[in-house]
Amino acid sequence: MALPPEPLDTVLVDAKVVVFGEVVDVTATGPALPHREGKKGEKDLQNKAPWQVVSLRVDRVLRGTVAKGATITVLKPEGAYEVAVGTHGPFLLGNADEADVAPVLGRYGPDTWRAEVVERAFQAT
């Protein structure tokens, strides 16, 4: 059974940058992870997709000093999903060291929370 997404309030605490954006390039992908085949009728095997480094065009900024229209590099960690060019939505990003890129937060990436839910969370603060 799939794990539910983390509550938005919990993830927002760790988000240093919150933007609405679109993936414009996948610049690197980690090695394939072991894949488990299920038995007949078995669902949700919790196989993980590898990490990806992606270029993200920023369409709107809710938190952080990123400029609208900028293209930033982010890390999509190993997880239950992959992103592709054209993936868009709200991206909650953690802190990055100077040598690293900011990691995408949330178990399921930009599809975790609907845009209006993220916007409402900011209006409430």
pLDDT digits (tens, 9 = 90+) for 19-74: 999 999 999 999 987 766 666 665 555 678 899 999 999 999 999 989 999 999 99
Domains of the chain by residue range: 8-30+46-123
Sign of CA dihedral 9, 100, 81, 3: negative
Q: Which residue has the higher pLDDT, 22 or 1?
A: 22
If you search the block for the tokens 């299920």, which residue do you land on? 38
- pLDDT, mean over the chain: 86
pLDDT at 5: 84
Average pLDDT (79-98) is 87
What architecture is domain 8-30+46-123? Answer: Beta Barrel (2.40)
According to the model, what pLDDT value does residue 6 have?
87
Question: What's the pLDDT score for residue 123?
Answer: 77
Mean pLDDT along residues 9-24: 92
Contacts of 97 (CB under 8 A, 6+ apart): none
State how far Cα 4 lies from the chain centre.
15
CB-based contact 28:82 (threshold 8 Å): no
* Amino acid identity, position 34: P
Q: How many C-beta atoms surround the C-beta of residue 74 within 10 A?
A: 22
